[in-house]
Each structure stands twice: as structure tokens, then as C-alpha cells.
């Protein structure tokens, strides 16, 4: 049995407006740009892709299943700029064929700097999923699949409301030099972690980056030897996993559909045809599963030992996309240096009972948290080889140096607000 696990990351940051050293107001975020981008991506991706997946779930009578990691900040922007998108996700949730996995609310790098903030953002995200969809996430993915053994241990021991371990397992990148001769198409476990709430070992699902990237990056590449990629061809590749694996983990940005790969490439027709082709290529031997179903269905076959940090970003699959130069390191250190002060301001305001002071402290705390979003530091990346074009595509700045200067100008003002 080859079970296809489709997982999509859905995220939009709060982009900063141009903020100079002469600015003194506390309005850091570019509402116009954020709204325009959110509405544009909703039109090109979120609406057509989610409506199509909803149709596929119904067409295949619940046999087609998917999973999403919706960041808190993308949901906040949907509620502000295009609430109908959230309504489509709610209808999809009602089918029972979608799983929402847990992550940090602000898509942050908080695990690297503050375990307290990391847990607080997971809790905030969990509450959001419960309030909107009635789901309590059972599987965790960290920002951009950043992962190591230490993170696995921390997540595996996080208690839920009942005091039992909250998560059954985690999602991360399948890195060749860590797997060695082994395949990413099995469930693994981190070393030295205990059992989950089901009494089974805490599990790890590894991204099959070759098959995932065939869709996410190579689909429209006319220079690729396998172009054009058809659903029939892809289904035969999935079917080959039978006999050498149990799961086909296809993890990618949701914007693959319609935004990164435009509609005229045929990406939506590919997605529409894929479930039927997967079912039919070897009847009875291939299906679709959510991450939780995969963990419940398959036992880990061995340990996936990750002593250093990995991610799904760039060719290096490490942290260099966010921590590859002195600007990024300095900006991140400055953000988390303010954490204690911002928390103290919030606690002190609550103690006064002054409604105005409480409101100001809340806005300060929320602004600080939006500044922990990883995208701000991604924009400061100075890579100019193969990955450089990717960084330039996503950045709203003319250069990484502009991104750093603008961010630090905002940080100076935030620091002033936190200390007065």
C-alpha cells in the first residue's frame, strides 16, 4: 500500500511599509500591500485550489484527503481582506477529509531563541484551529520544516489538555545524507523520544523532496527531461513506492497551485486528474491519507537521527536562508532581546487595570510577535547563486540591505515604545 500524504503550507507575512529613521509612528505594516497581495493570491490560488480540492473530496466520496498548515497570520489576513477564502476552508473541513497540523502562530523561528515564546505561539495556533475548525492539531510542523532531535524531543513531551502528549508526530525534510541508503517513504521516529498519546512511538514523516519538487518547482520547466508532467506519469512514480515504502509524502507551498505555477501551465488540470490516476494505476494498492492516519496506520521502521538543524529551504536544507549572514543574525538577536521587556510591559499593564495601558501593551506585544515572522529575515539573505533568484522573487525589497535597514528602523521605534 502506498498512501499519498498531501501537505500544504499556507502562509502570508505582514510585510513592513517603508520605515525611515525619521518615522516615529507605531504603524509598521503596509496594509495596502498586504491586502493587495492577499487578494491577488486568493484569486490565483486560494479560491480555485481549495474549491477544486473540495470538489475532488466529494467526487471521490471521501477517499481523497489532504492536510494544511495554516499560519495564524494568513488566517488573520483572510479575515480582514478576503473572508470568503476562510469560508471555503470551513466547508472543506466539514467533509472530514482534511487535517490541520500545528505550528507557530506567527511562522517564527522562536524555537531557536525562546522556548517560552515557541510554546506560547503553538498554544495560540492550536486555539485558532479549535475556534475556527473544531480541530485540535495532532501533528506538528515547525516553520519551514526546521527540525532537529532537540525539537522532536520538545514537541513529543508537550502535554495536551488531558495531560497526555499532545502530538502523535512531526513533519520534516527527508535529507539524503541523514537517510543514507534508506527511503523517505516510511514512517520513522526520532532517537530518544517516548511514546505518543496512542502508546506508539512519536513518529516523523519525511518529505519526498524529489516527487514534491517535481510538482512544486519543475512542473512548468520545459527544459526538464520529464516535461510535460502528466497525472498518469506521476501516478506511476507513486505506484513504484509499493514494495519499497508505505507513504509518499508530498509537501509543498499551497501557492504552487496558481501562483508559482500559473493556471495556464495546466497545474489545476494535473491536480484534478491526479487522485483518479493514483487510484486506478494499481487498484486497491494506493490511497490518500492525512498525517495522523499515516501515524496510526504505519509503525516507525527505524530512527531518523538529526543532530543539527535542517529545513526544506534552498539547496542546503539548513538555516542559512534565515541565519546565513551577520545582518540576519543581528536582526534576530535584537528581536528576541526585546521579548522579556515586551512581556513585562504587558504584565505591568494588566496589573494597573488601566484599559488604555492594557490596549497599548497588547498592540506592542502583537507588533513584536509579527516581527518574529521568519520572512523578515529571509528577505535579508544575500545568496546570489542558484537560490538567489528564489529569495529575490519573494522579497518586496530592492536588496537584502534595504530589508535589514528597514527592519532595524522599525526595531528602534519598537524598542522606544517598550521602554517609555
Q: Which of 144, 255, 259, 339 is catalytic?
A: 144
The DSSP letter of residue 14 is -
403, 376 Cβ separation under 8 angstroms: yes
Give dist(CA 417, CA 366) in Å, integer: 13
CA-to-CA dists, residue 372 to 107, 269, 392, angstroms: 8, 37, 20
Give dist(CA 259, CA 245) in Å, integer: 32
For 102, the 3-state DSSP assignment is strand
Sign of CA dihedral 45, 32, 131, 153: positive
Burial of 285 (0-12, 13-18, 19+ CB in 10 A): middle
Grid cell listed for 261: 505555477
Grid cell listed for 303: 530512527
Cα-to-chain-centroid distance, residue 210: 19
144 given a catalytic annotation: yes
The DSSP letter of residue 16 is B
| Angle (nearest 5°) at CA 245 between 242 and 249 | 105
Phi, psi (degrees; rounded to nearest 5) at 38: -60, -45
Give dist(CA 149, CA 111) in Å, integer: 12
169, 204 Cβ separation under 8 angstroms: yes
Grid cell listed for 266: 495546466
For the annotated catalytic residues, the residue numbers are 144
Amino acid at each position: 500500500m502506498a498512501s499519498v500524504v498531501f501537505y500544504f503550507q499556507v502562509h502570508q507575512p505582514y510585510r513592513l511599509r517603508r520605515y525611515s529613521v525619521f518615522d516615529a509612528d507605531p504603524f509598521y505594516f503596509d496594509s495596502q500591500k498586504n491586502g493587495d497581495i492577499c487578494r491577488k493570491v486568493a484569486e490565483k490560488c486560494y479560491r480555485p485550489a481549495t474549491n477544486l480540492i473540495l470538489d475532488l473530496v466529494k467526487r471521490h466520496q471521501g477517499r481523497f484527503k489532504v492536510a494544511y498548515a495554516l499560519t495564524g497570520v494568513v488566517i488573520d489576513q483572510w479575515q480582514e481582506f478576503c473572508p470568503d477564502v476562510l469560508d471555503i476552508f470551513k466547508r472543506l473541513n466539514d467533509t472530514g477529509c482534511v487535517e490541520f497540523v500545528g505550528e507557530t502562530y506567527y511562522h517564527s523561528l522562536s524555537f531557536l531563541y525562546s522556548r517560552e515564546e515557541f510554546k506560547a505561539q503553538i498554544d495560540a495556533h492550536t486555539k485558532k484551529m479549535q475556534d475556527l475548525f473544531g480541530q485540535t492539531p495532532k501533528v506538528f510542523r515547525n516553520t519551514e520544516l526546521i527540525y532537529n532531535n532537540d525539537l522532536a524531543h520538545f514537541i513529543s513531551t508537550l502535554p495536551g489538555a488531558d495531560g497526555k502528549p499532545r502530538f502523535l508526530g512531526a513533519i520534516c525534510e527527508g535529507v539524503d545524507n541523514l537517510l543514507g541508503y534508506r527511503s523517505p517513504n516510511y514512517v520513522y521516529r526520532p532517537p530518544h523520544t517516548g511514546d505518543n498519546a496512542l502508546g506508539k512511538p512519536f513518529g516523523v514523516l519525511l518529505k519526498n523532496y524529489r516527487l514534491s519538487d517535481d510538482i512544486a518547482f519543475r512542473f512548468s520547466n520545459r527544459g526538464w527531461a520529464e516535461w510535460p508532467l502528466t497525472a498518469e506519469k506521476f501516478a506511476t512514480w507513486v505506484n513504484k513506492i509499493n514494495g519499497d515504502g508505505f507513504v509518499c509524502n508530498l509537501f509543498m507551498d499551497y501557492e504552487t497551485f496558481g501562483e508559482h505555477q500559473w493556471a495556464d501551465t495546466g497545474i489545476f488540470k494535473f491536480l484534478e486528474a491526479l487522485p483518479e490516476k493514483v487510484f486506478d494505476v494499481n487498484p486497491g494498492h494506493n490511497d490518500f491519507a492525512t498525517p495522523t492516519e499515516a501515524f496510526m496506520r504505519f509503525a516507525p521502521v527505524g530512527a531518523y537521527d538529526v543532530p543539527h538543524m535542517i529545513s526544506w529551504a534552498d539547496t542546503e536544507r539548513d538555516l542559512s536562508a534565515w541565519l546565513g549572514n551577520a545582518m540576519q543574525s543581528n536582526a534576530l538577536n535584537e528581536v528576541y532581546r526585546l521579548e522579556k521587556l515586551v512581556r513585562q510591559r504587558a504584565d505591568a499593564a494588566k496589573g494597573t487595570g488601566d484599559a488604555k495601558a492594557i490596549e497599548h501593551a497588547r498592540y506592542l506585544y502583537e507588533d513584536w510577535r509579527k516581527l518574529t515572522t521568519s520572512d523578515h529575515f529571509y528577505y535579508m539573505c544575500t545568496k546570489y547563486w542558484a537560490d538567489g533568484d528564489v529569495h529575490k522573487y519573494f522579497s518586496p525589497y530592492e536588496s537584502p540591505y534595504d530589508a535589514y535597514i528597514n527592519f532595524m528602523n522599525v526595531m528602534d521605534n519598537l524598542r522606544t515604545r517598550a521602554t517609555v
